[in-house]
Structure 1
C-alpha cells in the first residue's frame, strides 16, 4: 500500500496555515528588537532578551513532536496542535505591543514563541505523514511559499500603516507606536484564520493506515535485547558525564575571568543536558522505557543524514539569528546614522527594515518553486550550496552600503537562502526518518535551529560590545561568513534521494 499522490490544491490547503504562522513570526522578528529598545533595553542587552525564542523551541518542539506522534482525535494527529498553538499565539500577539515595561515584553516573547512552536512543529511532520516521497520536496516548497508570503505582509505592516494609512510610527519615550500595535492586532487575526483553514480543509492518515505503507519496511524496530539495552544505558551515562563535565568546566571560565553573565545560559545549558542524560540512564535501568527515556535515547540514535544536516543547520541559523537581532540596529546606526529611538529618522530606518524583511521573504516565496527545478537539474546539495552562498554575500554586503535603497539587493540574496533553508534540508531529512517517529525527529531537528540561536544570543552581545566597538553591522558580516560555511558543509550530507536515484540508474 502506498500513499495517495495529492493534487496541487490539496497540498495548498495542508500548507495554508503556515501563512498565518509566518505572519506572526515575521512581526516578532522584525519588531521585537524595536520594542525592547523602545522600552529601555541597551544595545548589548538585546541578544539575551531574545534568548526566549531558542530556549522555548528547544524544550517545546521535541515534546510536541513526541506527543503528536502518539495522538489521535476527531481532528486527527497533528491538527489539534496547530489549533491550540494558533489560539495562544494570537492572544499573545495582541498583548505584546501593549507591554508597560521591558520585563513584560520579554515575558510575552516567551509565551508567544512557545505558542508559535506548538503550532509550527507538527506542520513539518504533516508533510512527511501525508505525502509520498516524490512529492515531499514540493510539499516543503509550498510551505516555503506560504512562509514567504506571510512574512512579506507581516514584515511590512508597520510601514503600510504609517505610509498608506497615516497611523503614527512615533510615540513618547517608552511607548510602542500605534503602527506597530495595529500590525500585531492584524497578525493575531490572520494567524488564527489561516490555521483554521488548514484544520478544516485537510485530512490525515490514521495510525492504522500509516502502519500499512510500504516505506515503513525500511525502518525495522530496534533490537531491544538485554545486551542492546545495557549498551544504550551505558551510552546515555557516558554522554551524561561528558556533557555535565563540559558544562561545569565551561561555566568556570566566565566566572573566573568575570565575563558577561549571558555566557552562563550556554554553559549551564550543557550541564543541564548532561543531568538529563544521566537521569534517563538511571530511569531506564530501574523502570525500563517511558516517554522521557525514549526522547533522550532517540536523541543519541539519530539517522546519519540528520547528524550531517545538523552542522548545516547550525551555521545557517546562527547567521539568520544575527540578522534578526541586529538588522534594525545596523541599518539605523550604520546606514541612517542615528540611535535615538524617539527620532523620526530612527523610526524611518526601523520601518525600512520591515520592508527589507518583507523583500527577502517575498523573494523566498517566488524562489521556493524554482528550487525543486534546480535540484532536479543538479542536486539538492548543490542547490543549497548556491542559495546559502548568495545569502551570505547578501548579509556581508550591508557593511559596504550607504544608500538604503541598495539594501534591497542584499535582501534578494538573503531571500534565496531563506527559501532553501526552509525546504531543502527538510526534504533531505524526511526520507531518512522512521515514519513512526517523524514528529519527534522533526522536533529534535529543531535543536539544530535552536542551539545556534542560543550561541548567537549569548556571544553576539559580547562580540559587538567587546570586539566590534558597539557596531552591530559587524554581527551581520559574521553571519554572512557563517552562512557560506553552512553551504560548504552541505556537500558532506548523505542525501537518500541521490542514493536511490543512483540505484535506479544502475539497475
Structure 2
C-alpha cells in the first residue's frame, strides 16, 4: 500500500510539474505574443509618422536655400526677412482653422489624413513653383540676359517665388498640425508622449539630414544638365534638383503614412453641435481656450515665445551668415560662386546639427526625469546664448579688416574660422533637440486635464511661436541695414533673448518631468 501511495504521489508530482511547465510555456508564449504586438505597434507608429520626415526634408531645403536664393533674384538683404512673414501669418491663420476642422472631420479615411493629403499635394506644387521661378519670370518679361552676367533684380521671378513661398508655408501648416495631432492620437494609448516625441524628433532629424545633404550637394546641375537654362545657372539648377527630390520623397512618405496610420472614422454623433460655426468657431474656441488656460500654461507660453525670439534669427540667416560673413561672398556678381559655396557649407553645418539633434533626442526624456523639464529647457537656452555670442564674435573677426576689393580674398574663408563655424552649427543641434520636444511635453502635462481637441490645442500653442517669428521678420532686416553688419545684429539679439529665457525658465516654469500620458503637442516652424 505504501508503495502504491508512493507511486501515486510520484505520478501526481509528475503531473503537477507537467502542468506547471505547460503554464510556463503558455505564459511565455503569451509574453512573446505581447512582445511581438508591442514591437509591431511601435514600428507601425514609427512608419505612420513618416510624412513628418518628408515634410521636414522640404523644410530643411527651405531653411538652408531660400534666403540665399531670394537674393539671387534681386531681393535686397534687408528685405529678405519680410519674405518670411508668411510663415507666422500662415501659422496663426491656418493652424487654428485646420486644427478645428481636423478635430471634427468625419471623412471615411479619418480625421487627420484628408488634411495631410491635400496639404502634401499643395506643397509639391509650391516647391515646383519656387524651383522654376527664374524660368517662369523670364517667360513673364524679366531680363533676357544670361544668368551668369545678370546682376539686376528680376521682379517677375521674385513675385513668382514669393507666391510659391506663401503657398508652401500655408501648405506646411496645413500638414503639420494634423500630422502632429495624429501622432498624439496614435501614441496616447499604449506608448505615451515620450515615445511619440522621440519618434517625431527622430523623423525630424532624418528629414533634416537628408534635406541638408541635398542642399549641400552642388552636383545636381551636373547629374541633370537639363536643369540649367539661360535664366537658371548652377546654384538655381541645384535648387531645382533638390526640390524635385523633395516632391518625390513627400509623395512616398505621404503614401506610407496614409496607408499605415489606421485612423478610424469619427462618428458624426461625437462632433459637437458648435462645429457648424466654422472658422468663426475655430478662432472663438481658440481665444476661449486661451482665456480658460491654467495660470501655469501662460508661463509656458511666455517662455516658449522668448525661446523662439532667440532661435528665429539663426533659422532665418544661418546659411546666409556662412556665405557672407565667413566666405565673404555676395548673392550676385563675380563673388556669387563664393557665396553659393558658403551657402552649401552652411547646409553641411545644418546637416551636422541635425545629426546632433537626432542623437540628443534619445536622451531628452531621461534628462527631464532626472533634472526636471524646466532645468533642461534653461540649460538649452544658456547653450543657445553661448553659441550665438560665439557666432557674433566669429563673424566680427572674419570681417574685421576685410577688403572686398582685394581679389586675393576671393579664394575662400579662413580655414580656422570655417572649422569653428561648422563646430558651432553642430553644437546648436543639442538645444534644438530640446526646442523640438521639451516645450510640448511641458505644455502637454500642464493642460492634460483641459477639454478640447489636440488640433485646437496645437493652435493655442502655435501663437507662442508665430508672434515671435513675426517680430523678428519685421525687425531683423532693418536692424541689419541700420548697423551695416549683415547678420551680426540679428544674431546678437537672438543671443540676448536666449540669456533672458534661460533665467525665466528657471524662475517661472512649473516642475514637470515629461511623464504625462497626455497627448503630445507641437507647434509650427
Q: TM-score, normalised by structure 1?
A: 0.76
Q: Indicate the SS of the match to 1:57.
A: helix
Where does structure 1 differ by over 4 angstroms across 4 or more consecutive aligned residues?
163-176, 205-211, 289-292, 495-501
Deviation at 1:409, TM superposition (A): 1.5
Runs of 5+ unmatched residues, structure 2: 1-36, 138-156, 399-416, 518-525
Question: How many angstroms apart in 2 are the aligned matches of 1:388 and 1:323?
Answer: 13
Which of 414, 418, 440 is matched with 1:404 structurally?
418
Q: Indicate the SS of the match to 2:78.
A: coil
Question: How many angstroms apart in 1 are the aligned matches of 2:384 and 2:443?
Answer: 22
Partner of 1:151: 208
> In 2 relative to 1, CA 59–404 (structure 1 residues): closer, same or farther, beyond 3 Å?
same
Deviation at 1:334, TM superposition (A): 1.5
1:301 aligns with 2:292: yes
Which of 472, 481, 487 is matched with 2:487 structurally?
472
Deviation at 1:53, TM superposition (A): 1.3
Which of 87, 101, 112 is matched with 2:168 structurally?
112
CA contact (8 A) 2:350 2:426 kept: no
Q: How does 1:128-207 map to 2 (within 5 A)?
A: 128-132=184-188, 135-162=192-219, 177-204=236-263
Runs of 5+ unmatched residues, structure 1: 212-220, 222-283, 502-507
What are the Cα deviations for residues 88-112 of structure 1, in whole angstroms up to 9, with x where unaligned? 1012112212112111111111000
Which of 88, 96, 99 is matched with 1:54 structurally?
88
Deviation at 1:159, TM superposition (A): 2.3
Question: How many angstroms apart in 2 are the aligned matches of 1:91 and 1:316?
Answer: 32
Deviation at 1:330, TM superposition (A): 2.0
Partner of 1:313: 304
Deviation at 1:292, TM superposition (A): 4.5
Question: How many angstroms apart in 2 are the aligned matches of 1:300 and 1:5?
Answer: 40
Question: How many angstroms apart in 1 are the aligned matches of 2:385 and 2:459?
Answer: 26
Over the aligned positions, Cα root-mean-square deviation in angstroms equals: 3.0
What are the Cα deviations for residues 220-241 of structure 1, in whole angstroms up to 9, with x where unaligned? x9xxxxxxxxxxxxxxxxxxxx
Deviation at 1:469, TM superposition (A): 1.9
Q: Indicate the SS of the match to 1:44.
A: helix
Q: TM-score, normalised by structure 2?
A: 0.74
Deviation at 1:207, TM superposition (A): 5.0
Q: How does 1:105-504 map to 2 (within 5 A)?
A: 105-132=161-188, 135-162=192-219, 177-204=236-263, 290-342=281-333, 343-401=336-394, 402=398, 403-431=417-445, 432-433=447-448, 434=450, 436-466=452-482, 468-491=483-506, 492-495=508-511
Deviation at 1:157, TM superposition (A): 0.9
Deviation at 1:184, TM superposition (A): 0.5
> In 2 relative to 1, CA 170–30 (structure 1 residues): closer, same or farther, beyond 3 Å?
farther
What are the Cα deviations for residues 34-60 of structure 1, in whole angstroms up to 9, with x where unaligned? 121010011111111111111111100
Question: How many angstroms apart in 2 are the aligned matches of 1:362 and 1:386?
Answer: 20
What are the Cα deviations for residues 243-273 of structure 1, in whole angstroms up to 9, with x where unaligned? xxxxxxxxxxxxxxxxxxxxxxxxxxxxxxx
Deviation at 1:389, TM superposition (A): 2.1
CA contact (8 A) 1:129 1:435 kept: no
Question: How many angstroms apart in 1 are the aligned matches of 2:68 and 2:229?
Answer: 12
Deviation at 1:500, TM superposition (A): 7.8
CA contact (8 A) 1:137 1:424 kept: no
Deviation at 1:479, TM superposition (A): 1.3
Q: Indicate the SS of the match to 2:77.
A: coil
CA contact (8 A) 1:86 1:192 kept: yes
CA contact (8 A) 2:392 2:492 kept: yes
Partner of 2:73: 39
CA contact (8 A) 1:167 1:179 kept: no
CA contact (8 A) 2:110 2:266 kept: no
Deviation at 1:205, TM superposition (A): 5.7
> In 2 relative to 1, CA 499–165 (structure 1 residues): closer, same or farther, beyond 3 Å?
closer
Q: Indicate the SS of the match to 2:217.
A: helix
Question: How many angstroms apart in 2 are the aligned matches of 1:419 and 1:497?
Answer: 16
Q: Indicate the SS of the match to 2:111.
A: coil
